Amino acid sequence: MSQKIIAAALDPVLALVYPPKCVVCKSFGAAVMCERCLRSIVPVAEPSCGRCGQTLGDAAMCGHCTRRTPAFDKARALGLHDGILKQAIHLLKYRDRPRLAEPLGIALAAFARDHSAELGNLKIDAIVPVPMHPARRRTRGYNQAERLADVVARELSVSMSTDTLVRRVNTRAQVGLTQEARQQNLAGAFGRGTKEVAGLSILVIDDVSTTGSSLHECAQVLKSAGARKVYGLTLAAG
């Protein structure tokens, strides 16, 4: 009897013994992330900054973009870095749950379609994940931005490139740093890869954008290499 036949026969039994459950809320029924959790993602509140997509609150202008004009053309985020989305990103990054990239990536791609007018009408030549330093990748085992980018690229039928940008410096974590400290921490952290980008429109994917520093640094490298347009797309903002 072939392995496929054996696996097919065992699947119903395994489902009874180990029923699938959402890794975020632990409810049974969903293999990775349930629809209730996905629907619980809180969108970025309006009004939001026309450039970086962060919520403005009571401010007339985005403080991040006022202090430094971003190198990217526009950036948008699926939701706020809070609640279910924050929990899911934490699991994806720090709790060895790379499978979460699939449902989150699908949701991110759907968001991109719904907001295509803010992302160059999705006339994108390549999707590029924010790169991770090799040392950190060896520790974590994968780059969560790359996992997300792979799903988004598949859903949008655009090629995904991992040789466009490289991480030259193994910077300290950005968590808890001020905007100025984040900028200093990432200054010169990224470099050009082997892929040519002259004249291309690039969509850069990351998990979280707080001050837009990572997207800005990546966009600077891409623009200096001749990229025509650079857009940013992240799971969370804030």
State the CATH number of the domain containing residue 50: 3.40.50.2020
In a domain, residue 76? The reply is yes
In a domain, residue 54? The reply is yes
Positive or negative CA dihedral for 100, 27, 238, 234? positive
Tokens matching residue 12 = 């119903």
Tens of pLDDT along 34-78?
Answer: 999 999 999 999 899 999 999 887 666 788 888 889 999 999 999
Q: What residues make up the domain containing 176?
A: 42-237
Cα–Cα distances in angstroms (integers) from residue 73 to residues 37, 96, 204, 216, 222, in the given order: 31, 33, 11, 10, 12
In a domain, residue 192? The reply is yes
Crossing angle of helices 144-156 and 83-94, rounded to 10°: 110
How are strands ordered across the β-sheet holding 126-129? 74-80, 229-237, 201-209, 126-129
**Residue 11 pLDDT > 60:** no
Residue 202 Cα to chain centre, angstroms = 14
- Mean pLDDT computed over 151-172: 92
In a domain, residue 123? The reply is yes
Positive or negative CA dihedral for 207, 159, 98, 23? positive
Average pLDDT, the chain: 88
Tens of pLDDT along 171-210?
Answer: 756 565 566 666 666 777 899 999 999 999 999 999 999 8
**The whole model's pTM is what?**
0.87
Neighbours of 73 (CB within 10 A): 19
Nearest-angstrom CA–CA distance, 61 and 203: 24
In a domain, residue 225? The reply is yes
In a domain, residue 80? The reply is yes
In a domain, residue 121? The reply is yes
Amino acid occupying residue 41: I
Question: For residues 92 and 20, which has the higher predicted lDDT (pLDDT)?
Answer: 92
pLDDT of residue 30: 82
Q: How many domains does the chain have?
A: 1
